Structure 1
Amino acid sequence: MIEVHDDPGRSPLRWLATLLLVVALPLAIGFFLAGRVVPRPQVGILRLSYDINSLSTYEVTEQLKLARENPAIKAVVLILNSPGGSAAYSEELFLDVLNTRHKLPVVASVDLLAASGAYYMAAAADEIYAKPTSGVGSVGVIASLPGDVFIEEDLLTTGPYKAFGGTRDGTVRQIERAKFAFLDAVRVGRGERLAIEPATLSRGELYSGVQALDYGLIDGLAAGDEAIRRAAELAGLRDYETVELYPLAFDTDFIPLPLARYRPQPIDEAKLWAAPTDLAPGVYYRHVAPAPGQP
């Protein structure tokens, strides 16, 4: 009698196990490591909330710097909830967004409010979107006039206005120059899309998203998610992920994993619309909502 023994090397189960070890396992490890060695393209989310001042400007410019220098970030979306603020800092944000726009797409998304200096900043983006009832615009300037000139016997100055900063009419002319700088920034940023006369725009009105679209101040009515998709489209991305820029710029312990996502604080609408108090002397691109009972 002839006995037949199966060759262990030719066993189907053994062959399948060898295939898994030699082919499937390396492929699985490769796919697992690919996202870490070569990260997926990212759309960075940057949030400006409340007033534009020295602190908020520093935070925004650091996040924009990170976006420009991080090769994984291919586009930036600005989520705006701000009444504006300091003229000088608003101009700095405009220039920094413009600088970023030259390197990667930037899309602005107005959540509740992008007024005055916040809209100044948004005007530097490639495109601007808002909700139908978002507050947009308020293109204008506010400033305090210097007090009455007087002589102080115990104070020696080398010029009659050294202690006062200038005359009242001189301050008015400075405010006018700041207003025209704002108008020029909007004109350059919006280009041929702008459909409102400078004289009308300079009235400082706050428009709804629907009105802003009619005037060419924004490019469409859309929520934040749609603005993100548009930014990805401008960057030529199909497979991408979104990432919050704030913790990447300031929290060195932050790990951008799905279970450790950064969650920004919800907007306090009362704080957002609150009138400024104790403003330092200076020029401001800021919207001031009328007090209750006032027109």
Structure 2
Amino acid sequence: MSIDADQIVERRRLRRKVTFWRTLGILAVVAAVAVGAATVAGRSIPVGSPHVARVMIGGLIRNDRERVEMLEEIGRSRARAVILSIDSPGGTVTGSEQLYDALRRLAAKKPVVAVVEGVAASGAYIAALGADHVIARRNALVGSVGVIYQFPNFTELLKTVGVTMEDIKSSPLKASPNPYTPTTPEARAAVDSLVKDSYAWFRGLVGERRKLSDPLLATVSDGRVFTGHQGLELQLVDELGDERTARAWLAREKGVPEDLKVRTWRSGQVGDEFGWLLGAARGVVSALGFPQAAAFLTQAAHGALERTQLDGLLALWHPRVDG
């Protein structure tokens, strides 16, 4: 007895739906376990118990009120010391300034030591300057002392399509530079003054916090990055090592027991630690034949990326790619 074609299609559709919900359930369990593991790892030590606080500085640095509030909470907690674990190319000048100021207020209450795990460039190095002691791995990257302002200019592109942008302004420098018209010398000079002013602040901060002579300050503030080994010779870092080196320094210089437990503090914002999970879920859902659900996940990811967009003056290191 043959089975009707409609029944076959319906059964296949039903199997796909069941498979989809099973897969979604498995991904939800995986996500819950991952988040739970991170929570246990970071919060297993009671807030009221003496401990060493670990703060992760990663990704692009921008204004983050929740992180400032977290640092203030650490200052009120029973943490005996703070370890900054840094791996960041920098970010906005104002965001880096905000983080530096919060770290200096925290350092007035508890000893703070920075450990450069991978990169502490530009704005991330500003954050490292907020610590009492800077440690870097031998081949970590530090420095990139400088400020950059970037903006696209579509003037030539518009010419090729026959489009001209016109504007009526109250003054010549209003809304300048404009990406749709050639940058005037006056507009370029105005932006240049902004960059130089922020750079002077950054450069002065490095000289003050690292107690550098003028010749040495000139060497380290030309925008280059240095390895941790080079940075030690240039006085950008105090020691080579890792978190164990930081614990030894805290014990030796601040009397913080090395056997004291470490607690990782996290702000309320969700980071990108589990971005891989979103990507995997999106791929599985799409493969199962549910493009609408996959599109929803893609939109969620796009929204997360939009929140990391930077504008304004940047203290950010990014290697130049020619070709």
Indicate whether the TM-score tops 0.5: yes
For 1:210-289, list aligned pairs within 5 A.
210-238=229-257, 240-246=260-266, 249-250=267-268, 265=273, 280-289=310-319
Compute the displacement of 1:229 (Å): 3.3
Q: What letter is aligned with 2:53?
A: G
8 A contact 2:122–2:316 mirrored in 1: yes
Alignment of 1:169 onto 2:178: no
* Aligned with residue 197 of structure 1, among 202, 208, 216: 216
Match among 97, 104, 116 for residue 98 of structure 1: 104
> Is the 8 Å Cα contact of residues 92 and 310 (structure 2) preserved in structure 1?
no
Change (3 A) 1:196 1:225: farther
Query: CA 1:146–1:163 in structure 2 vs 1: closer, same or farther (change >3 Å)?
Result: farther
The alignment status of 1:65 with 2:84, answered yes or no, reads no
Distance 1:281 1:267, change over 3 A: closer
Cα pair 1:136 1:208 within 8 Å, conserved:
yes
Give how far 1:226 is off.
1.8
SS at match of 1:107: strand
Once the two structures are superposed, residues 119-156 of structure 1 have per-residue CA deviations (whole angstroms, 9 ceiling, x without a partner) of: 0111121000001100111111111268699x976x54
* Preserved contact between residue 46 and residue 63 of structure 1 (Cα < 8 Å): no
Residue 45 in 1 paired to residue 54 in 2? yes
In structure 1, distance between residues paired with 2:47 and 2:91: 40
Displacement of 1:233? 4.1
How much is the aligned-residue C-alpha RMSD, in angstroms? Answer: 3.4
Q: CA deviation at 1:234?
A: 3.9
**From 117, 122, 127, the counterpart of 1:121:** 127
Q: Secondary structure at the match of 1:50?
A: strand
Between Structure 1 and Structure 2, the one with more helix by share is 2
Unaligned runs of 5+ in 1: 1-35, 252-263, 269-275
Is 1:160 paired with 2:172?
yes
**Residue 196 of structure 1, CA deviation:** 5.7
Matched residue SS, 1:79: strand
The secondary structure found in structure 2 opposite 1:197 is helix
Mapped to 1, the partners of 2:154 and 2:264 lie a distance apart of 49
Change (3 A) 1:170 1:129: same
In the other structure, the counterpart of 2:19 is: none
TM-score calculated relative to the size of structure 1: 0.68
Q: Using the alignment, how far apart are the partners of 1:175 and 1:93 within structure 2?
A: 20
Which stretch shifts more, 96-105 or 58-67? Answer: 58-67
- Kindly indicate whether the alpha-carbon contact (under 8 Å) linking 2:81 and 2:256 is maintained by their aligned counterparts in 1: no
Task: Decide whether aligned partners of structure 1 residues 206 and 38 sit closer, same or farther in structure 2, where only a CA change above 3 A counts.
Answer: closer
Aligned residues: 231
1:78 to 63, 80, 84: 84
After superposing the two structures, state which structure 1 stretch, 220-229 or 139-148, moved more.
139-148
Question: Unaligned 5+ residue runs, structure 2?
Answer: 1-44, 156-163, 178-185, 277-304
Residue identity opposite 2:147 in structure 1: V
**Secondary structure, counterpart of 1:51 in structure 2:** strand
The alpha-carbon distance between structure 1 residues 147 and 107, as it changes in their structure 2 partners (threshold 3 A), is same
Provide, for residues 174-210 of structure 1, a one-character-per-residue CA deviation record: whole Å limited to 9, x for no partner.
1111111111111121125x79623222211110010
| Contact preservation (8 Å) 1:146, 1:168 | no
Q: TM-score, normalised by structure 2?
A: 0.63
Aligned to 1:30: none
Write the letter of the residue equivalent to 2:250.
Answer: A
Identity of aligned residues (%): 28
Q: Deviations over 1:223-279 (max 9, x none)?
A: 122213323444322252211111xx539xxxxxxxxxxxx95999xxxxxxx9996
Structure 1 distance, partners of 2:76, 2:50, is 14
Equivalent residue number for residue 5 of structure 1: none
- The change in CA–CA distance for 1:280 and 1:97 in structure 2 (over 3 A counts) is closer
Structure 2: how far apart are the matches of 1:222 and 1:240?
A: 19
Q: Distance in 2 between matches of 1:267 and 1:110?
A: 23
The answer on whether the counterparts of 1:82 and 1:114 sit within 8 Å (CA) in structure 2 is yes
Instruction: Find the counterpart in structure 1 of residue 21 from structure 2.
Output: none
